[in-house]
Amino acid sequence: MSEYVAPLRDMRFALELAGLDAVSALPGLEDSSADVVDAVLDEAARFAGEVLSPLNRVGDRMGASLGDDGRVTMPEGFAAAYRQYADNGWNGMGCDPEHGGAGMPHVVVAMIQEMVMGANMAFSLCPLLTAGAIEALSLCGSGEQKHLYLEKMVSGQWTGTMNLTESQAGSDLAAVRTRAEPQSDGSWRVFGQKIFITYGEHELAENIVHLVLARTPGSPEGVKGISLFVVPKFIPDADGNPGVRNDLRCVSLEHKLGIHASPTCVMAYGDAGGATGWLCGEENRGIEYMFIMMNAARYAVGLQGIAVAERALQQALGYARERLQGGEAGVKGGGSVAIVRHPDVRRMLMLMKSQVEAMRALAAVTAAAQDRAERHPDADERARAQAFAELMTPLVKGWSTETGNDVASLGVQVHGGMGYIEETGAAQYLRDARITNIYEGTTGIQANDLVSRKIARDGGAAARAVIADMKAQAAALEATGDDSLCAIATALAQSVSALERGVDFVLANWRSDVRAVLAGAVPLLGLFGRVAGGWQMARAALLAHQRLAAGSDEAAFYRAKIVAARFYADHVLSQAAGLAQVVCDGAAGVLDEASGL
């Protein structure tokens, strides 16, 4: 197994595509200058490669374990690595300076997160969930709750979780049964059991702040009757330090296909009289608040798909360059060559490489839009950026994680039989990747969100604005007259037409035949993701072309960018027409009751 090496050059290129200079000029982000960002990225790369990456295999082999006393023991080295992570300020990199954070732009934080995830995905889940809890408390918590919890959570001294689902509920949060009873002192007693709670119990931090969905007496049925509660593992004392142990415990750990070092807990609340909790925000608005955490987590899980794909690519490329097997096609009398010389291995590696670059660029552009949506001085620009970020989020989550699975599988294939052997490490990336398109909302849930809330709800306005930008990008490439760029432009224009057909189908049939639309929702998400990625690859190719024309001293890097964009156009964008056909005409076989399902 090779160690992770952060793809800093490509990350900096993605930041350039995302407009980091403009982001750094936004109010409140002026300190994130290019030299500061460069230094931060360099140090993050060092930490990820030297501290977290060596623990990736250790964590997979040892896993987290639950003792008879209810304590979770982390794999060797994780506690020390987490202390370094927190002490070096990585946990608060994107948080408000008011609470001790560094206040870095979302787009820069995304690159840091990808490094941490790529180096050690299981480790990265702890700060990922803490970040979501910080966001929810920042926006919905009371002044007292913010004072009590945020500084310690931002520093990493305390961690956070979100407790949504239950065994009978799954993704249907309307079926949540955990209940909360009011107490005379303003607190609540929480009773119930939650499943799939990431880092619900561990030894990395001195306290764990659980955000728990529960029903209050007399609340409405369904999702409208759910509230959000702050339920800490240790109840803070008068000085804000961990005090009495709360009535909550981890009763078991899930035995998972991958991410073995991440303790996925079944949490029980109130077995000894009720866990003490405090209402977060207003009663019966828990789902609304939880989605603050959920949306942040969905984007972050999309980054996990990119990160594990990058790790699989690095492993596969390193192996392909070293593994000698067979002669080179078309060369008579030659000896064995590295398998990277074989056309089909090159095809697989380029499919991995081009899609990783496309996903990273799309994620960066989306994060930059989040920065503009929060901080741009012009209200109209904030609204446009918000609409774009919301439209792209299910793509970043759904398409990137599905593609991450495909890339990790290709990584095994490049290794051949050795990829199926655990010692090479390729299999771990495939096992770890498999959860990413399930948790924080399956791909089907992301696709339903895309067609209902992001396309149908606004009459396709946001989608059509993006399509217009894509068409303009194709025209800009065509205008260069360069053969490679013109070929990319043609493929992009054709794929955009296919996407437009799919969007038009959703808008024409959403009210009259919603089942037909939903039958093609996942194919539409795949179509939109591929085309959005191709759009970013086209932008990358044009920028690379301009740099080469200006005589850049990084000619090899920019030539490779154009080659990757051309490959993506030929091998990925060419799938668009078929996916559009499925979106528009594929419902009959799905919905026919004679299918025998």
**Active site members:** 440
Task: Tell how strand 264-269 and strand 188-198 pair up.
Answer: antiparallel
Residues ≥6 apart with Cβ < 8 Å to 387: 458, 461, 462, 465
Interior/surface letters 130-160, b for 16+ CB within 10 angstroms, e for the rest: bbbbbbbbbebbeeebbebbbbbbbbbebbb
CA-nearest of 420, 392, 425 to 532 is: 392
DSSP letters, 238-271, are TTSSEEEEPSEEEEEE---SS-TTS-EEEEEE-T
Cα four-point dihedral sign 391, 306, 15, 104: positive
Helix/strand/coil for 278 = strand
Which residue's structure tokens are 């792209």?
A: 392
Which whole-number Å values give the CA distances from 437 to 25, 298, 311, 406, 468, in the listed order? Answer: 35, 10, 17, 11, 29
Q: Is residue 547 within 8 Å of 558, Cβ to Cβ?
A: yes
Contact 424, 1 (CB under 8 A): yes
Strand partners of residue 73: 65
Contact predicate 214/280, CB 8 Å: no
Structural contact between residues 281 and 144, judged by C-beta atoms closer than 8 angstroms: no
When computed from its CA atoms, the radius of gyration of the chain, rounded to whole angstroms, is 24
* 462 Rama sector, left if φ>0, alpha if ψ -120 to 50, beta otherwise: alpha
Burial letters 49-85, b for 16+ CB under 10 A, else e:
bebbbbbbbebbebbbebeeeeebbbbebbeebbeeb
Return d(Cα 196, Cα 179) in angstroms, integer: 18
